Chain A
Amino acid sequence: MADAPVLVLGEGELHQNETFGRGTVNRGAVLLDCTWDGGVFESGVMAGGLFRSGTFLGGVFWGGVWLGGTWTGGAWERGFGPDGKYHPRTVHP
């Protein structure tokens, strides 16, 4: 049985320059220049920042760096791969 999330981010929330680890689920929050490290991104917006690990299920990825993790859905607007190279719209990892 999967562990219950210890932190759920919801719609209307804004987070800047924060780090979110395993056990975090995003359900609609806007993350600006944040680091995502191990949680599940279900919906919301990740603008800038670093996706270090975790699962991106849905939402918008905008201009951040994708270092690792699993992409299963969502809108890749623009961003950068683990080598720092640019990935244009729709070309998700």
Chain B
Amino acid sequence: MKVVLAAAHRYPDLARLWFRSVARDLLPAFRSAGADVEILLFRDTTPEGFEPRTFPGATLLAPSFEALDAVEFYEAALERQGDVLFLLDPGVFVLDGEWVASLLGYFEDPTVAAVSLLPRTGPPDVLALLARRAVYRTLNAPVFAPSFEALERWPHAIYRRPGERAAMALRARGKKIVDAPPAPAPRLADFSAATAIRIARETYGGVLGPRFETLLAEKPDLAAGAYENLLLGALFRAVFGTPYAAASGPTPFAAPDEDTHLSGSATAEELRAALAAIRDQRAFRHLVASFERSNRALTWLAAREGLTRGALRVPLVLPRARTLEARVRAAARRFVGKS
């Protein structure tokens, strides 16, 4: 069986950390299971920042007429010869490669079109998906592209995430999209919100200036992404010894290290200020819960690097008293819900 692993990365530092995990935890497991693996790494927008020596064995691709962006890259990857296309988000780290390799066994059932590694409430998207190539190729292109339906109902139109329409079409044909069963041990570390805030900062953070902090306080997804980068940044510095998520623009007055670390996402100070400004208690509780999930993911990922969470010295950003209150309220809610 041949597996084509396809990932679209915009930021070389995240790609470096991600690839290190793939090479250590995933590739050996696939090979032990008898699978031949090809890695396609799409360097979205900044191909020159990716040093080929840090991605040994991977095929590095760049935007071209065949694949103008990440979505088109997924379509191109589907045309690559292979049995299974493994789409893996740049922020999703495999902790247990043997578990992922064992999921290939589902394809012995000819009615299985795909296995989704991350549980989703709706149809699975392309965050972490093992897709049977032959079946997906029977769909009309573009197979994985996102789309909108019922635009006449704007702003209540329906957004279909990348891969969602494909999953729906295949299910309508009687094919199975299997959700990987939940396991007691951690299998994946999900930091899939990490890239969006970096894109936002890069695209309009500069023109917004301090207003960007306001946005962090208003948009939970951005705050969650900022926190994920804070954690990944701590790990990155511990592993590689250099800043993470530095702003790509010129910073002529910045010190070589401290001032650039996380400047392309949100620094600890910026995130701390934004969190302190959140007045909506419910939104704050959800963020605390999201941060706790990310904390656990970091602990697992750091363990794969032989590091403890404590060694990473992650800066504290949540106000202590409010966090404690949010945790107590969440626990009380769970208790009441169960009784």
Contact = CB atoms under 8 A, between A and B. Distances in A.
Interface string A78-93: 1010101110111100
A44 B211 CA distance: 15
A40 interface: no
A89 B68 contact: yes
Contacts of A11: 207
A85 B207 contact: no
A86 B147 contact: yes
Contacts of A28: 207
A interface majority secondary structure: strand
The interface size bin for chain B is 20 to 34
B69 interface: yes
Nearest to A29: B207
Contacts of B142: 86
Contacts of A78: 69, 71
B272 to A, nearest CB: 21
Contact of A65 (B68, B148, B204, B215): B148
Nearest to A60: B203
B154 interface: yes
Interface of A: 11-12, 14, 16, 28, 30, 32-33, 35, 44-45, 47, 50, 60, 62, 65, 67, 77-78, 80, 82, 84-86, 88-91
Interface of B: 63, 68-69, 71-72, 142, 145-149, 151, 154-155, 157, 200, 203-204, 207-209, 211, 214-215, 218
Given A44-B207, A45-B203, 20 more contacts: A11-B207, A12-B209, A12-B211, A14-B208, A14-B215, A28-B207, A45-B207, A60-B204, A62-B203, A65-B154, A78-B69, A80-B147, A82-B151, A84-B147, A84-B148, A84-B151, A85-B145, A88-B72, A89-B68, A91-B68
